[in-house]
Structure 1
């Protein structure tokens, strides 16, 4: 058996080093498409697998559905014959290496949902053959590779580390980041055995500038969770500081700017309306879940998640406060959301705090509309919304304009000139050399602290919009009603 294992390893190593290995990427989304185009661009014959026929058709005709991967990049490798795509998972058996890039969301109960991984393993197991390398890139809890993938794949009778090879290498894709890409971001690799690690590292070294080998898949799995938990916890801290600053009447944006001048012992994190995207709100919960199975509660992680989850509610309270200051209730007011994607420069709305803000405003009777140059349509519980063109008329006809996602493509000069009330949840509209934006005809409310007084706009009722009429509702009463309507106990 040792001789056979050596033969399998050496044969695969030679195919990888010569560029003859066939590479399959299972899942062609935000992670998988950059991976498959990187390997095909390096000269490997690659095959992308996806359950979505529309995605497969687009890739096969040389088009891209992911903003970070230009269509010309896909077209070049398709035309060269190095990239193809399919929904036929039976062809996984043809691959020398299979990289799994499928989603790992949370289920309805908040527990990890690894159904996509299990589906992928089922397809791979059906055609698994000796000499194949299987790598999981999807984020998951420490132990998944050894406890889930290995026994699932060994059901066919082959032994991991001897007849096939198994490794974990966490994805490090940052959508919308043109500086750090798949190929120039260091790649962590942990294998089930030394042979598994060496083969996986050898594969990635063909396309990535720096590969960091670690002692086990568990180390690699926890590395990814540490990276994103670190960010989520620190964002939770600065979000709580924003709430504290507001109680003290202080602009948290100015505080963060001042603290960031310290050249040591401080790392800048900025507050906002909450966490979004597939990673930050979810990855720490995978770790928390795993530790609960070991009778340990990750109190710090869970507290940060609680703070971050409360930020959309804080934003709605902030909007209510701004409107209430001008004797306008939430009920009946038209509220414009600027940006609904979870981060600037992308069209991804997964876990975006804008979804919660829109839903909560709608429950209070607000008429919600939005503008986002990357998101043409937004699906909400109460019905779909379409992005509105950003015009002076739209801004002037909205009682409040709320900056949720600070896309650089938005005309903020127009916003500052025409909006009536602005609530800036990102604390500093992009303007000139990082200087705080000064309102033109608007009243600008930062995430915390007092408004920046400008030439106050005319806040008389807007024609065709009835903001409720009558006297203004006291903020405490409004907040109490709001919490009850959101399902809390009185």
Structure 2
């Protein structure tokens, strides 16, 4: 049965797009590109299937859609740049079945120039068709924010950059069915650079506030109160908050080796943010020492090992490095996370605490790494022998804050 849309890649980018399309009444095929991290609850899957979603493993069906969106994951490669292997595989699979008048859109995070220089030749060589003449080609940066209850696909503007004006309009017509606002970029490179700017903006600002956290601790200043006051400014300021490190799927890119010049500020931000797990370890060791204990043989409980609150996703979570460094110091590490039933570090299972309060009372140090909504932080601060809050989520004075 023909469908309007094929979503190629059903990970953290593709599944939300497929859900939004089905909700908008678009009949949708889902095609996996490989092992992907997206997941649906049984109820969500039932709603999608009843709304017209159809997962398939038959690549031939990709040739019977009006629009194909490539959402293949692009994890960091050995050099830190996006690994385009799954994008290439998706492109070759699609090209073998591509028909004239199809609109092809890339949503995977990539560096500027990928749509023109990498994707276009794969599609043309594999199909014998010409982009901009026989089929439409465009790039649209994904703006997925998992767990955000205020902004979703319908009310988040969509950026479109097409190979030609006609390509842009074709892609805009598709996204206009899913979202309230479509913004047209000058071309694919501009749209790709939007993704670059938005991702780097997050990392650079988190790095700034992470450095402020270290400075304020040294000065004896309450950073969390500083942020509370600063965010009352109605212009020229957006509040970011420090943490034990930066996780998630967005990879900061300084474009070293892929552009005439690198982004030095992004490179520095990466250095700052990558140091935060070690800073957490330094603070933890200092707190234990102040209370007459050593990190060696200390019982340390980690709370929340996902990269974002109220999500099970562990992509890039700093909890892994923090647990590893604690183990290297000789600490006995356990964890609690309502969303992670089992957890391991470098293949070694980490004991899971069944009773949160009992575990916190027994631990020499409890470190809050992620503030899941289910955590009663007031009660936890009473039960814990020693509590280090890396998220500033506990009541003032109830714990040692980052």
Which bin holds the TM-score, normalised by the shorter protein? over 0.9
Equivalent of 1:221 in 183, 188, 192: 192
Instruction: Using the TM superposition, give the Cα deviation of residue 277 of structure 1 relative to its aligned residue in structure 2, in angstroms.
Output: 0.5
Instruction: Say yes or no: does 1:28 pair with 2:1.
Output: no
Residues 357 and 96 of structure 1: CA distance in aligned 2, closer, same or farther (over 3 Å) = same
- TM-score w.r.t. length of structure 2: 0.95
Instruction: Using the TM superposition, give the Cα deviation of residue 50 of structure 1 relative to its aligned residue in structure 2, in angstroms.
Output: 1.1
Matches within 5 A, 1:33-432: 33-51=15-33, 65-66=39-40, 71-80=42-51, 82-155=52-125, 156-279=127-250, 282=251, 284-285=252-253, 288-289=254-255, 291-381=256-346, 383-385=348-350, 387-429=352-394
Instruction: Using the TM superposition, give the Cα deviation of residue 109 of structure 1 relative to its aligned residue in structure 2, in angstroms.
Output: 2.8
Where in structure 2 are there 5+ consecutive unaligned residues? none
Residues 53 and 257 of structure 1: CA distance in aligned 2, closer, same or farther (over 3 Å) = closer
Deviations 1:275-326 (A, max 9, x none): 01011xx1x22xx23x533341321110011000000000000000000001
Where in structure 1 are there 5+ consecutive unaligned residues? 1-19, 56-63, 430-435, 448-490
Instruction: Using the TM superposition, give the Cα deviation of residue 417 of structure 1 relative to its aligned residue in structure 2, in angstroms.
Output: 1.3
Q: 1:8 matched to which residue of 2?
A: none
Instruction: Say yes or no: does 1:446 pair with 2:401.
Output: yes
CA contact (8 A) 1:52 1:87 kept: no
State how many pairs are aligned: 400
Please give the root-mean-square deviation of Cα atoms over the aligned residues, in Å. 1.9
Q: Distance in 2 between matches of 1:153 and 1:106?
A: 23
CA contact (8 A) 2:7 2:18 kept: yes
Q: Distance in 1 between matches of 2:3 and 2:31?
A: 17
Residues 79 and 146 of structure 1: CA distance in aligned 2, closer, same or farther (over 3 Å) = same
CA contact (8 A) 2:11 2:36 kept: no
Q: Distance in 2 between matches of 1:341 and 1:53?
A: 19
- TM-score w.r.t. length of structure 1: 0.78
Instruction: Using the TM superposition, give the Cα deviation of residue 71 of structure 1 relative to its aligned residue in structure 2, in angstroms.
Output: 4.2
Residues 437 and 312 of structure 1: CA distance in aligned 2, closer, same or farther (over 3 Å) = same
Q: Distance in 1 between matches of 2:279 and 2:153?
A: 36
SS in 2 for 1:292: coil
Instruction: Using the TM superposition, give the Cα deviation of residue 133 of structure 1 relative to its aligned residue in structure 2, in angstroms.
Output: 1.0
Instruction: Using the TM superposition, give the Cα deviation of residue 135 of structure 1 relative to its aligned residue in structure 2, in angstroms.
Output: 0.5
Q: Distance in 1 between matches of 2:31 and 2:25?
A: 18
SS in 2 for 1:25: strand
Q: Distance in 2 between matches of 1:376 and 1:204?
A: 37
CA contact (8 A) 2:33 2:72 kept: no
SS in 1 for 2:267: helix
Deviations 1:187-206 (A, max 9, x none): 11110001110000000101
Q: 1:480 matched to which residue of 2?
A: none
CA contact (8 A) 1:51 1:87 kept: no
Q: Distance in 2 between matches of 1:421 and 1:88?
A: 55
Residues 190 and 425 of structure 1: CA distance in aligned 2, closer, same or farther (over 3 Å) = same
SS in 2 for 1:40: helix
Deviations 1:312-361 (A, max 9, x none): 00000000000000121111001101101111110111001111111111
| 405-414 or 235-244, larger mean C-alpha shift | 405-414
Q: Distance in 2 between matches of 1:47 and 1:299?
A: 42
